[in-house]
Structure 1
Amino acid sequence: MAYDNSDLRSTLPSSTATATAPERFSGSEHVRFRDLPPVEKTDEISTWYARGQNFVVGYSELDGTATFTRTAQPDEYVVLLADDGLGATVRAPGEEVSVTGRTMLVVPPGDSSVTVTGQGRVLRLLTTRSDDVAALAANADSYAEPHENIPPFRPWPDPVGGYRVRSYDLTVPPLANPPFRLYRCTTFMVNFIDPKQGPRDPSKLSPHKHDDFEQCSIVLAGEYVHHIRWPWTTNRANWREDEHERVLAPAVTVIPPPSLHTSEAVDPETNHLIDVFCPPRADFSAMEGWVFNADDYPAPESR
């Protein structure tokens, strides 16, 4: 992994995997919502979907009021209010929670409703156990067969005090360097980074890889180039060309293991990208103080 020495990611432990390096690799996924008609549309809301091996992203643009209802939801899911002009009320058996502004909501399994009001962008993150939502993804056909090098999904331990609606402020100060704002639950880890002005310094990129999980990068504003490189293997038939994929907001990119990758903001104005992992990342979770709600959601004992 190539990080500047001032970046705390340079202190992440190196992979300890001892398994034989893979010989086959899956490709990346780039779903450009701006080029697709919405899957669901009313006068007040337009919604698109994309997926990875374990997760589904629902991206909505709202001007008014919309209610998202889940019945017999099999596991926790996440709702992200990405803009200050939004408010939401979550109702689940025995509780009601209201929030305003940029917030991460964790909704418990079972029956629930989330009513969002205002103008802005709403993201929902569900595992592919919610097969009704997974079927709506623009790239659903790509996952008709499991992708390579990703183990079966396993949720993390139950939250302290049991399942309930939880909310987390996405405007609290981030870590210093990298400027991450990390939250997790039993199913997801979200890294909600603040928008940045101008392009990224091309002399300070951060190419790195993950051995056994996908990275979901959601571009909320601006334009990015995702640089992706796969390992060479003994069988040249399995080699893949490097990618330098340019995407404009809104878009979802799914980066497969164990590709080397980094994302470069290139818009001269505002760029905003957030990362999502399903299940949560063990390496980030092992770093003291990195996960802001670690007291609510314990890591597996093996971590």
Structure 2
Amino acid sequence: MSEVSARKATKTVFRTVPPQEVSADRKARTWITRGGNFAVCYSEVEPGAVLAREDNPEEYMVILPPDGTTATIEAGSERIEAGSDSLTIVPPGASRIVATSKGVIARIFSKGSEDIMAKASNVEAYADGAPELAPPDLWPEPYDGYRLRHYPLAQYATPGGERIQPRVFRSTNMLVNIFAHYHTRRDTKALSPHWHDDFEQASLCLNGRWIHHTRYNWGSDLDEWWPDDHEEIDTPSVIIIPARAIHTSRDIGPDGPESSLYDIFCPPRLDFASKKGFVLNEDEYPLPANASDRAVKTGGTLLSWQKPA
């Protein structure tokens, strides 16, 4: 990491600020927080709430947490009943999500969804276009073409297993790591400070209380230094961790209450995607043709599950 941090992290605690969208029937309230190449939309919905896209240019992801939220998701001629604790990848074009219960729906959109990006609460933080980030190039189309892809997440978690259980999925334009929810706090002697030189990370937390420890890379001008950030943050919330910032996250408080963490990257991370068996839907999406020639600019201490065997 050799360059100065270009911007501070954005932290949004939903419900403490006004939503960016409220449906006409008031059945859906949506908060939007963006990074340079993606946006996270957190929606609180009532039964019958509709979240529709008339002609979305790229795939997007839909997360239903394990809180009882259910929804019908439609795209083209396809229709699925999405249960609680699931991930759905929605193809480009027209789509429609109808809530069939009260709960939370999280959606992740790429930079191609310009209308979503423009509505974000922190849009001014990216007025410069985020030139420090690698371009969000689309990866190749899925082997069997674009379609709805639905993943019930419970089948990818081991009950009573290790505290950190990564569940990584990707599309043509993004990658998510949906950690299995856990009830024991992170060991403060086993943290993982690291950074990403040319891409951002969003960490969406729907349960628990968190500290996203952040240290910015300094330059030669003392007046432009930013102090370390160790602020406690409530949930539901999201942090956009900028490129070049050293960071690590931990949930705090006593053991027992549930914590949840969803890490988001756009475009997909090549280091994760090229590690055989790590991305759970890797057989559905090809790697870029020049994958072996691409450098992945990340550094620092990595979690044990990120290290090669």
Instruction: State the TM-score, normalized to the length of structure 2.
Output: 0.85
Residue matched to 1:70: 53
1:297 counterpart = 2:294: no
Q: 1:284 aligns with which of 272, 278, 287?
A: 272
1:22 counterpart = 2:10: no
The whole-number CA distance in structure 2 between the counterparts of 1:273 and 1:152 is 26
1:201 counterpart = 2:187: yes
Q: 1:227 aligns with which of 213, 236, 243?
A: 213
Q: Which amino acid aligns with 1:206?
A: S
Q: 1:213 aligns with which of 155, 176, 199?
A: 199
- CA change 1:232–1:144 in 2 (3 A) is closer
The whole-number CA distance in structure 1 between the counterparts of 2:123 and 2:147 is 30
Q: 1:184 aligns with which of 170, 182, 186?
A: 170
The whole-number CA distance in structure 1 between the counterparts of 2:249 and 2:131 is 22
More strand by share: 1
- CA change 1:138–1:301 in 2 (3 A) is same
The whole-number CA distance in structure 2 between the counterparts of 1:68 and 1:43 is 12
Number of residues of Structure 1 aligned to a counterpart in Structure 2: 284
- CA change 1:225–1:130 in 2 (3 A) is same
Q: CA deviation at 1:261?
A: 0.6
1:253 counterpart = 2:239: yes
After superposition, the C-alpha distances for 1:254-276 in whole angstroms (9 at most, x for unaligned) are 11111111001013322212111
Q: 2:112 aligns with which of 113, 121, 129?
A: 129
Q: 2:95 aligns with which of 81, 103, 112?
A: 112
CA contact (8 A) 2:117 2:123 kept: yes
The whole-number CA distance in structure 2 between the counterparts of 1:235 and 1:299 is 42
Q: Which amino acid aligns with 1:219?
A: C
Residue matched to 2:130: 147
Q: 1:99 aligns with which of 82, 100, 111?
A: 82
Moved more, 228-237 or 259-268: 228-237
Q: Over aligned residues, Cα RMSD in angstroms? A: 2.0
Q: CA deviation at 1:237?
A: 4.7
Residue matched to 1:81: 64
Q: CA deviation at 1:235?
A: 4.4
Q: Which amino acid aligns with 2:219?
A: T
The whole-number CA distance in structure 2 between the counterparts of 1:187 and 1:25 is 23
CA contact (8 A) 1:79 1:107 kept: yes
1:169 counterpart = 2:157: no
Structure 2 unaligned spans of 5+: 292-309
Residue matched to 2:37: 54
Residue matched to 1:39: 20
The SS at the match of 1:242 is coil
Residue matched to 2:303: none
Residue matched to 1:266: 252
Q: Which amino acid aligns with 1:26?
A: R
CA contact (8 A) 2:5 2:217 kept: no
The whole-number CA distance in structure 1 between the counterparts of 2:231 and 2:285 is 35
CA contact (8 A) 2:46 2:99 kept: no
Q: Which amino acid aligns with 2:258?
A: T
The whole-number CA distance in structure 2 between the counterparts of 1:173 and 1:161 is 23
Q: Which amino acid aligns with 2:264?
A: V
Instruction: State the TM-score, normalized to the length of structure 1.
Output: 0.87
Moved more, 243-252 or 33-42: 33-42
Q: CA deviation at 1:39?
A: 2.6
- CA change 1:114–1:231 in 2 (3 A) is same
Moved more, 77-86 or 275-284: 77-86
Q: Which amino acid aligns with 2:272?
A: F
